[in-house]
Each structure stands twice: as structure tokens, then as C-alpha cells.
Amino acid sequence: MKRKIVLKKMLAGILAMAMLMTAVAVGAAAQGEEGADAQGLAAEALHSIGLLQGVGGDPAGPDFALGRAATRLEALVMLVRLMGGEGEALGGGYDSPFGDVPAWGAPYVGYAYEMGWTRGVTDAEFSPSTTATAAQFLTFILRTLGYEDGEDFEWNAAWDLTDELGITDGEFNSGNNALVRGDMAVLSLTTLSAQVKDAGYTLLEALTEDGVFDALAKDDSEIEEIVYGALADIGIGEIPAEEYLAMMEMLEDRFERLLSDLIDMALDSEWEQFLESEEGYEAWLDAYATENEWLEEAVNLLAEMARRAPLKYRQAHTGYVMTAQWTYDTLTAFNDELEAAVDNSDEGHFNETMNTFANNMLQARESWLIATSGLATIVFREGQE
């Protein structure tokens, strides 16, 4: 009965892994009711830490006008507030180098211009009333993080880099460049968890160190809880390092056991027993149908997790993604070969297929252990610093 036990263990392992990964599924700037909920959560979180104001003077509470298209000036003001620069902008004597900016917005534009975050649409015009696009706001964001357009990214395709950094997740492109204030709130919140270029710390950590939140009646841990709590509720942003490592530890164990079970199944299978016993081919087909579905989901979710992993771990995480994908592809090809061997009653083909699959799974296990060792090495070095 060993083979039946192995098949049940494989199914249990896949199911547990998929359930774990579902907890970190990404859902950046969503659409419809879900998107509105995400925008509201982001706006409330930013407002509670002093980085977002509403419009108007509604005594019932701030009106964030999340569904309204944002102008370029509004986008820049939100950016300055996100960076904790509003006080300096308003009190530092900044003036706009562009002649078309209204007086109330001139300090913000002047400050952002001095910081290198904006250059205007021409040398003389900022075009403050023009509707902001996603490419423009993402360019503003990337510049604040230390990235340079023309060198690190192209401004009219800024989403390529923000997707890589985990700020966006493919929701913006050349065919979807529109932006509303709610989108800016979600993007601003996500940016707080992004790493400053070549710095080894997040924007939130930088703002905290600079004393941006000192005027609030909240300590650093409360600020962090608000930001990461909102990101978790929405399902976006960089996963905190401790949470990422805890999830990977569980995944490492689950996947290693899955590979071991597949290896045992391949090595222990004999032609006649496989065809005739209840633990044989029919049991394998039932197991494969469920197993393949969950493994495909795990591959997809590992790939999504790669975009939310802490930047310092993303290179190591690539090994996990590649190994999981290769395992899935190999398992699919194995099942096709196994089906051909059974259909043709070809014992030689069956034995060759099982041996090849066992060797492939041994190779997959070795690759998975290399990825595990790579991540462990990074964590160890962190502890020595």
C-alpha cells in the first residue's frame, strides 16, 4: 500500500502549499467595487499618518475624491506630501520656475523641481491643469526613489520598472494609462514599502528616520503597522522580510517533501503492479489531475510572490520560481510519456520513463536545495552585519 500513501501525501502537500500561497496573492490597482475598497483603505491609511489630505471642508470627514481624475499639479502635490516635504515646500521660499502654475501650487512645484522630481512639459510650462497619466505619476515616484529616466527606465513606460519593483503589478501599460486620485493613493501606499535605489531600506524607513512622522502621536511601530496592515488588507506591496522568510520556510519543507514523494513513486513503480493494482495507474491519474492543478497554481503564485518579496531576497527567490516551473513542466511531460507507455503496453518505455522522471526529480530537488541555501546565506550575512 506504499504507493497509495505516497500519492495521498503528494496531494496533501500540494494542497497545503497552494493554500499558503493563496494568502499572498497579489491584487494591485483593482477595478470596480474591489478597487474602490482598496483605494479607500489606502487613502485612510495615508491620511492617518499625515501624508494625504482631502478636498473641501466636509465636517463629516475628509473627502478624498478618489474617483476623480487627477491633474498634474494634484499629482505633484500628493507626491510632495508622500515624501514628507510639504512643510519644507511651504516654508522654504520655493517658487515655480514655470509661468503657468497658480500661486497656491508654486511652492510645491518649486520644491519638486529643486529635488529633481519634475521638469515640466517644456522649459517654460508645467501644464498644471492637464490630467495626469499613470506614466507621469510613476515617473514622479521613481525619481523620488532615486531612479533616473533615460538611464534606469523610460518615462513613457515607467510601469516596466515599477512592476519589477512591486509598486505596480501590470495594471498599467500603453493601453491603460489613465489615472484617478484613488489610483494615486494606492500607488503612494505601495511606494512606502518599496526600496530606495541602492540604499537597502524602504521609503517608509527613510521617512521615519528623517522625522517626517514625529509630529504625530504615534510611535514608529504604529506607523509601520498602519502602512503594512493596509497593504496586507489590500493585498499589494512588498512583503515584510520576517513574513516572507516564514512563508518560504514552510514552502521549502512542503516542496522538498513533494519532490521526495515523486521520487519514491518513480523508483518503486513496477510495470505489472502499476497496471494491475488499485494503487497503480488509475490511482496515479486521479492524483495527477489534482496535483497538476495545484502545482500550476503554486508556480503562478510563486511568480507573483517574487514581485512582492523584499528586494534583497528577489535574486535568490528566482531559483525557487525556476525550479517550481521546471518541476511542473517535467511532471506534465512525464504524465504524457506514461500515458503513451500504458496505452501501447510498452514495458520498456514505462521503465525508461520512470527512470528519467526519477532522475529529473532528483535534479529538481538539488536545484531547490541550492535556492534554499542561497536564501539562507543572505539571511546569515545579514545577521553578521
Which helix (H) or strand (E) is 77 found in, with range? Answer: helix 72-82
Across the chain, the runs of DSSP E, i.e. the strands, are: none
Can you give the pLDDT at residue 76?
93
> Which residues make Cβ contacts (< 8 Å) with residue 150, sequence separation at least 6?
none
Query: What sign for the dihedral angle of Cα 146, 147, 151, 156?
Result: negative
**DSSP class per residue in 237-289:** SPPPHHHHHHHHHHHHHHHHHHHHHHHHHHHH--HHHHHHSTTSHHHHHHHHH
Of 158, 215, 151, the closest CA to residue 191 belongs to: 158
Q: How is residue 92 annotated by DSSP?
A: T
**Residues 332-359, mean pLDDT to the nearest whole number:** 92
In terms of residues, how long is the chain? 385
**pLDDT tens profile 47-57:** 999 998 877 65
The rounded distance, in Å, linking the Cα atoms of 380 and 385 is: 9
Instruction: Read off the pLDDT of each residue in 176-187 and give the average, rounded to a whole number.
Output: 89
User: Are 316 and 375 a contacting pair, CB within 8 Å?
Assistant: yes
63-77 pLDDT, tens digit each = 888 999 989 999 999
Mapping DSSP to helix (H, G, I), strand (E, B) and coil, where does residue 171 land? coil
More confident residue, 311 or 351: 351
pLDDT number for residue 22:
45
What whole-number distance in Å separates Cα of residue 187 and Cα of residue 319? 28
Q: What per-residue confidence (pLDDT) applies to 56?
A: 61
CA dist 190 and 303 (Å) reads 19
Q: Which residue has the higher pLDDT, 358 or 59?
A: 358
CATH topology of domain 2-23+240-384: Four Helix Bundle (Hemerythrin (Met), subunit A) (1.20.120)
Percentage of residues in the chain having pLDDT higher than 90: 42
Give the separation between CA 372 and CA 320, rounded to whole angstroms. 8
Q: What is the pLDDT of the chain when averaged over all its residues?
A: 83
Sequence-distant (6+) residues with CB within 8 A of 184 are 70, 75, 78, 132, 137
Instruction: Give the domain ranges of the chain.
Output: 2-23+240-384, 32-70+131-234
Instruction: Let me know if 35 is exposed, middle or buried by CB neighbors in 10 A (0-12, 13-18, 19+).
Output: buried
Q: How far is 271 from 258, CA to CA, in rounded Å? A: 23
280 or 349: which leads in pLDDT:
349
Using an 8 Å Cβ cutoff, are 207 and 84 in contact? yes
Cell triple for 193: 514599502
Alpha-carbon span 340 to 325, nearest angstrom: 23
Task: State the pLDDT at residue 58.
Answer: 54
- Per-residue pLDDT of 272-326, as tens digits, reads 877 776 567 887 887 787 777 777 877 877 777 776 777 778 788 888 889 999 9
98-154 tens-digit pLDDT: 999 999 999 999 999 999 999 889 999 999 999 999 999 999 999 999 999 999 999
C-alpha cell at 281: 495507474
Q: Which is more confident, 385 or 177?
A: 177
DSSP 194-250: SBPTTTSSBHHHHHHHTTTTTTSS--HHHHHHHHHHHHHHHT-SPPPHHHHHHHHHH
CA 103/CA 174 separation, integer angstroms = 33
Q: Is residue 2's pLDDT more than 50?
A: no
pLDDT at position 144:
92
pLDDT at 6: 44
Residue 12 pLDDT: 47
Contact 66/40 with Cβ under 8 angstroms?
A: yes
- In the prediction, which pLDDT does 323 show? 92
What does the pLDDT average to over 12-32?
44
pLDDT over threshold 50, residue 23: no
CB 105 within 8 A of CB 136: no
Say if residue 46's pLDDT is above 90. Answer: yes
Query: Are the C-beta atoms of 30 and 36 separated by less than 8 Å?
Result: no
pLDDT at residue 328, as a whole number = 92
Asked if the model's pLDDT at residue 173 lies above 60, the reply is: yes
Q: Which residues pair with 63 in a beta bridge?
A: 55
pLDDT digits (tens, 9 = 90+) for 80-97: 988 889 999 999 899 999
332 has pLDDT over 70: yes
At 198-257, the pLDDT tens digits run: 887 889 989 999 898 888 888 888 998 899 888 878 877 667 788 888 888 888 888 888
Q: How far apart are CA 248 and CA 64, in angstroms?
A: 38
SS3 63: strand
Contact in structure between 39 and 182 (CB atoms under 8 Å): yes
